[in-house]
Structure 1
């Protein structure tokens, strides 16, 4: 064993509370993410990486019309000088600025493979080339004229702009997406001509609200077009609060293919959806047989989008086909709006439409003031020089003599002509060829022009009204360049009323419609046999189980099941087990309470009404629509205590009710005496001294009362012969006519 090592001395060790240390560090990280990575500035709509890319491209003189340079050169310069992060992150940002399906007004013009709407990646940066677009030039306009503040770069070797002058409303025109820590931003693109109109209105009406500005800005304008199916109220609410979403659909047309056949052709897809993934999803649904009304999907896109959807048959309703696809695929998508931006470049805040435009307008006015002051300084410097030169032209010979003979001509000139040092330097730097008479006239003209310009700028800086007029003129120039009649400025996304899906049965569209026979056993096992089977005598059951009931329906139907506890459960016929085995217990498909059994089952029809009753003889009429449940829990329809159970649920089709009790007394009374309710205990249908109800049915009195006996023969008692049994609800009734079954049931 070696000698134990002494612990280090406490010198220089600082005890830190772990919770406080983590909080401090995480807060620093969160702030860094919010300020320097994820949220755009409200003034120029750019995140730092985009701003640095554009500024780096300006330094490389990659103006519109200039020769392209390799993207790798741009990325290298930006990474080396301004953005100390991964080159791939910078290149990904650059690529997105060049994609005309991602940016409504691309800031970069790319040459080479910059990815596509299918979701394919761009080529490596060594293969692609880039230069700025006219939009980027507008964003940088005036950056050399002290329009914005600069700060030191990360290594303090260079300087970079804190914000760009932004003569273009980029925040809303191109939108932005970003996830920070604890907050996110999502701004869809908009139409710049509409934004300019709204901004001009805001200049003349500074107190205008977001609702008023919606007369100009209709809503988002996506580069990929599409149709927005959102209500005007919902759009107004989103722009008022800065939070909301827009339901966007693909644009499609019906194309006739001859002989009555047709296809649906999708020409525009929702913003942000990768076409390849969309088609993959539709093909998957086809394989899984979840789209029986669709036969095939083909991608015939070239430069433009063309997705061909072929229906299963020409009788399929095109609207039904598309509604089904909108529901199941990304042909309909929600584009979120969360205008969380950095106001004044510092404070994250969710802005409404009016506040977002106001931030941009206020910034434009500040830029105008700063550029005007810068120009004023330049004019004053030039006027000082011109003033000196004009003095000298009055006595050129003496100037030449001083320069030739004096040892210190500068000091002598300053003394003799009362010049400043700047003026003296300008004279000494003048070339001999400039001393001709013509030059003096040019100088005088320039002096007069600059003096007039100086007066105009001073007037501008003194008048807020003139400043706003100038800002408005600049906005009108932008609108002219990107107006609705230009190919880039024309609105691409249209608006449509949100469709009413109430009358479209999407279940029918997603399930192939086939006839089936539903079989329910005494012990509650259910199955669906293919086709409408008439003879069930050969049907096998498990153990001592037997047939309880069967009925014909279709795979698209809903099956309603009444349990003894008064609940009605809804099952999809398409999800019932096939007829090869014994089926499955209903308990696997519905949350049937312990001790509850199944009373009956039947197919649901939307317009039908049902008579429900308990064993003690209480009941009411209920619309079938109100008993359909969307969950396994079912719907409680009959309220009752533990002494009784649900007895029956029969169609209420007719004008009279016939009830028979366990005491074998029959009563017939008008259906109108039974109230219609959604849920409840019901009213007494028939009065019994002892026992309860055995069966009931609703029928048309004019057709007479029918029943089936045990030999399956049908008996009918005509309306005229039912006089003895006609009475009112809650009467006791009389013994039934001759031939009524001994089991006290009306039968099928």
Structure 2
């Protein structure tokens, strides 16, 4: 069989692959953008929604009629207008009926259409639907040549290119969609506010964004909630068409007898599934990630009621809610990307004012088309009325012609100067219409039509009359969606609030006493409670291992671990392994080098400042907050000179005013603390000068109290050298031999 080369599918095209691919992908992308994902600025609908409503209108599913199965509607849509999957079409239909998804639902559903918990709708064979009054307002004018029609995909029928109604659906119901290379996200708004802003724009076409925001407060979500952005942020978002809104749940505090209380959430942010929200809050309770919250209960019926119980009545309500705003979807961000198709089907991002202005411009076009359509109908009717009147004035002659002539139409046309339509209408008149009063009624109808014709002609010829007419029509429709009506009442509160506060660590972690133990080989554990550190039964270690650091702390504490290389690491007290067994290697919790020697382990809250010093006698003061590391890799604080290592990390008491340092050569020096600089990192300055050896130990003290140390022996006696004047010198001095009885290991106890 010969190949037909005239068939484009059989032709071989010699073209670069990249250009062929890009051209075809561009066609696909534009099809996705213009025919699937982005709404039209004039009616706010995507093709699937428009075809759904059109099919329901042809099925006469108006608000006054009965319901029909959704399967029937979906079948008509995919069979006649929208050749796509039945499930995707039904999903679109379900969303049009969900009161928690659409601010002004376009479909009135009967049956299970899903809920705010996130449950899916029943299958379309079980549910029924009809149009709402909002949908009828959106489609008003379809029978009056208000918009253009186009053939359906198979050419068997026609469908409207868009809807002409006066309802501002794009901004009132919002839209969302993802195309190729672009997306759209528009929140719903209050229709009454949009009508007011539109009337303002009709009166003052040059009104700026600030004037529009005098009427449009902000988004108006079907689920309520509170928009907590500032007026300036909202204005900037609407002026650019890009940005977002912070939306919080609305809650009340219910007081109980005895001083107890609970927070009751009555409205949640738009788009949040209540079931998943409660699961997330319950997970915080079960995993003890938010200890000040004791329980969460769902007591919702038709209205949302989520009860949050604090751990105790002393918990601050603001702290509890701020924590939940940060950790859960009780606060979300709804993005605004006002990307729509304009009147030329070109996608572009508009400001709020531009979108309203484009919709108003469309309404002027619709008004003119409907007016012209009515004028044409009037002209046709007047033509027929003139023929009827001629017939009544010459009734006997008309009857005679009809009775005598085989073809009366040409005779009537010739004798009375009638048109073909007039002659045909006369011949089709019923005998019962030939009563005496009919002529008067015809003349009365003609006069009324002529008056209406004059008014409509004047309307078409005057921009001022068109503006007045459109404002009147908008004001009339506004009454149906006014703030005093149940549907039109604003649901979302616009109330500026600061971002949710950072919750202190004490609120995030349950505060419990622990005993931190680090062995010589680097095994760490935390025993519950403040145990006796002197008890031999408490500090058990592996064979060949022994104690290195042991101290009391709290689970809310941050612990600082310092190495000889001058690097500091941070451990969370709540994340330490339990006290059973020997613990875990501390290297499994931080990125500690295998050969790194641990110099110190202490609580970050032990003091505001610390004294750190290297073996070569150089050191400085560092603030505890500056050495806290946020990652496992730690933070380099001291950079010792070659051959030197970090040997001293000591907290500084608030009352300390002097530094005492002792060298390997057993020389002691004391100098004012003010001579030591405060730094965030570096090598520091010389604390003590040595001829041989290096720094053994250093600490801070209150000069007036002297220097105390524990004597050797089982008694544990403490000796104090109250007069340190002989050892007082300037920073960097060599010092002199310590007092008699000073520990032989040259360490301050």
TM-score by shorter chain over 0.5: yes
Partner of 1:4: none
> Which digits, 9 at most, give the CA deviation of each residue in 1:339-381, with x for residues without a partner?
2222226222222222222221221111111111111211221
Q: What is the root-mean-square deviation of aligned Cα atoms in Å?
A: 2.8
Cα separation, 1, equivalents of 2:209 and 2:669: 68
**Contact map agreement 1:606 1:625 (CA 8 A) in 2:** no
Q: Specify the alignment match of 2:726 in structure 1.
A: 724
Which 10-residue stretch deviates more, 611-620 or 576-585?
A: 611-620
Q: 1:671 maps to which residue? A: 673
Instruction: Write out aligned runs for 1:223-622 (5 A).
Output: 223-344=222-343, 346-499=345-498, 501-502=500-501, 504-505=503-504, 507-536=505-534, 537-538=536-537, 539-593=539-593, 595-605=595-605, 608-622=608-622
Task: From the superposition, tell whether residues 621 and 236 of structure 1 become closer, same or farther in structure 2 (CA, over 3 Å).
Answer: farther
Q: Give 1:517 deviation, angstroms.
A: 0.9
What is the alpha-carbon distance in structure 1 between the residues aligned to residue 686 and residue 305 of structure 2?
65
After TM superposition, the structure 1 = structure 2 runs for residues 617-636 of structure 1, keeping only pairs within 5 Å, are 617-636=617-636
Structure-2 change in CA distance of 1:702 and 1:208 (3 Å): farther
- Give distance in 2, aligned partners of 1:526 and 1:389: 108
Give the whole-Å Cα distance in 1 for the aligned partners of 2:256 and 2:748.
56
| Kept after mapping to 1: 8 A contact 2:697/2:746 | yes
Could you tell me whether the CA contact under 8 Å between 2:525 and 2:578 is conserved in 1? yes
1:180 corresponds to which residue?
Answer: 179
* Other structure's SS at 1:647 match: strand
- Tell me how far apart the structure 1 counterparts of residues 732 and 655 of structure 2 sit (CA, whole Å): 19
Distance in 2, Cα, partners of 1:359 & 1:532? 72
- The one of 681, 684, 693 equivalent to 1:682 is 684
User: CA distance change for structure 1 residues 709 and 392 in 2, over 3 Å: closer, same or farther?
Assistant: farther
User: Cα deviations across residues 185-225 of structure 1 (Å, max 9, x unaligned)?
Assistant: 22222222222233233333434444553333332221111
TM-fit CA distance, 1:22: 4.6
Aligned to 2:702: 700
Structure 1 residues 236 and 594 mapped into 2: Cα distance closer, same or farther (>3 Å)?
Answer: farther
Show the counterpart of 2:39: 40
Aligned mates of 1:196, 1:693 — CA distance in 2: 81
Say whether residues 1:221 and 2:220 are aligned partners. yes
State the shift of 1:314 in Å.
3.0
Contact 2:661 2:687 in 1 (8 A): no
Q: Mean alpha-carbon deviation: is it higher for 346-355 or for 161-170?
A: 346-355
Report how far residue 320 of structure 1 moved.
Answer: 3.1
What does 1:54-203 correspond to in 2, within 5 Å? Answer: 54-203=53-202
1:84: how far off?
1.7
Output the CA distance in 2 between the equivalents of 1:348 and 1:110: 32
Moved more, 572-581 or 442-451: 442-451
**Higher mean C-alpha displacement, 150-159 vs 257-266:** 257-266
Tell me if the contact between 2:231 and 2:496 (Cα under 8 Å) persists in the aligned partners: no
The answer (yes or no) to whether the contact 2:323–2:502 under 8 Å persists in 1 is no
CA distance in 2, matches of 1:502, 1:122: 39
Judge which range, 217-226 or 684-693, deviates more.
684-693
Give the Å deviation of 1:701: 3.7
* Contact persistence 1:196–1:475 (CA under 8 A): yes
Relative to structure 1, is the Cα distance of residues 42 and 489 closer, same or farther in structure 2, using a 3 angstrom cutoff?
A: same
SS at match of 2:486: coil
The answer on whether the counterparts of 1:254 and 1:264 sit within 8 Å (CA) in structure 2 is yes
Corresponding position: 1:715 with 2:719: yes
Counterparts of 1:197 and 1:10, CA distance in 2 = 62
Whole-Å separation in 2 of the counterparts to 1:397 and 1:702 = 137
Q: How far apart in 2 are the matches of 1:121 and 1:197?
A: 37
CA-CA distance at 1:710 after TM superposition:
4.4
5+ residue gaps, structure 2, are none
1:606 is displaced (CA, Å) by: 9.5
Rounded to whole Å, the distance in 2 between the matches of 1:535 and 1:633 is 31
1:625-673 CA-partner distances (Å, limit 9, x unpaired)? 2322221122222244333222323223234132313133333333333
Whole-Å separation in 1 of the counterparts to 2:502 and 2:700: 29
Secondary structure of the residue aligned to 1:259 is helix
Q: Give CA-to-partner distance per residue, 1:576-611, whole Å, 9 cap, x none.
A: 111222222322222234543222121122982223
Cα displacement (A) at 1:516: 0.3
Deviation at 1:9, TM superposition (A): 13
With structure 2 as the length reference, what TM-score do the two structures score?
A: 0.91
**In structure 2, distance between residues paired with 1:240 and 1:696:** 63
Q: Note the C-alpha offset of 1:528.
A: 0.9
Distance 1:406 1:601 in 2: 122
CA separation of 1:408/1:139 partners in 2, compared to 1, >3 Å: closer, same or farther? same
Q: Corresponding residue for 2:740? A: 738
SS in structure 2 of the partner of residue 94 of structure 1: helix
The 1-side partners of 2:738 and 2:193 are apart by 80
Supply the distance in 1 between the matched residues of 2:137 and 2:188 (Cα, whole angstroms): 18
Give how far 1:132 is off: 0.9
Q: Deviations 1:689-720 (Å, cap 9, x if unpaired)?
A: 444333232333444444444454433344xx
Gap change, CA 1:476 and 1:564, over 3 Å in 2: farther
Q: TM-score, normalised by structure 1?
A: 0.92
Q: How far apart, in 2, do the equivalents of 1:563 and 1:202 lie?
A: 70
Mapped partners of 1:695, 1:211: distance in 2 = 68
Equivalent pairs, count: 738
Structure 2 SS opposite 1:52: helix
CA contact (8 A) 2:323 2:500 kept: no
Distance apart, 1:292 and its partner CA = 3.4
